[in-house]
Amino acid sequence: MLDYLFTSPILFLVWTIALLAAITIHEFAHAWMADQLGDPTARLAGRLSLNPFDHLDPIGTLALFIFRFGWGKPVPIDPFNLRNPRRDSAFISLAGPASNFLLAIVLAAVLRFLPIINLNLAIFNLFLSPIIIMNIMLGVFNLLPLNPLDGGKILIGFLPADLANQWEEILNQYSLIFLIFLLFPIFSSSSLISALILPIVNLILSLLLPSNPLI
């Protein structure tokens, strides 16, 4: 994305808007689900908001600009407010990626509908396709079973209690190391995360945007 800043400022602006939209809906969904499950912590902290700047994490946002994979500012959760802390935390975590996929599906449906009502598809495609792509990338990336990503909490939430405790200890100790290893190109010009995630992202995008070039 950063290369667009100098080669095509308009595209850089479009992708920045897409990034902000993806992070905002993702973190808002976490806060909304927590509130629905009885924990008002995120709402009281001002995170039940559609203001993008309430949800930006400096490192996660920078990672999105550089690698197109990243995360937003973690939503504060108080497990003591939840009836079933482990299970409910998993649902709260799952709400983020689920919201990204839902938004991408809705916008893809809009793009499919535009030619039927004779609207200019190219203009809408310029703005909506990046939002769809960014939401799919953010959603898939956050399903990795690592901390601070949602996948780690989802995994722990649905495992049996004894196995969940073991995995939680492992993730707390080693997730950051694994995440750095995956993000940074150590052995080749591209990162390992690209090799792992992009085939899945491209498969989903081929279903949502069959007429568009894949990333």
Catalytic residue IDs: 27
Closest CA to 20 of 42, 46, 51: 51
Which segments of the chain are extended strands (E)? none
Give whole-number Cα distances, 76 to 39, 42, 47, 79, 80, in Å: 10, 5, 8, 10, 12
108 CB-near residues (< 8 Å, 6+ apart) = 132, 208, 209
Neighbours of 144 (CB within 10 A): 20
DSSP output for 34-84: HHHTT--HHHHTT-S---GGGS--HHHHHHHHHHS----PPPP--GGGSSS
Cα of first residue to Cα of last residue in the chain, in angstroms, is 12
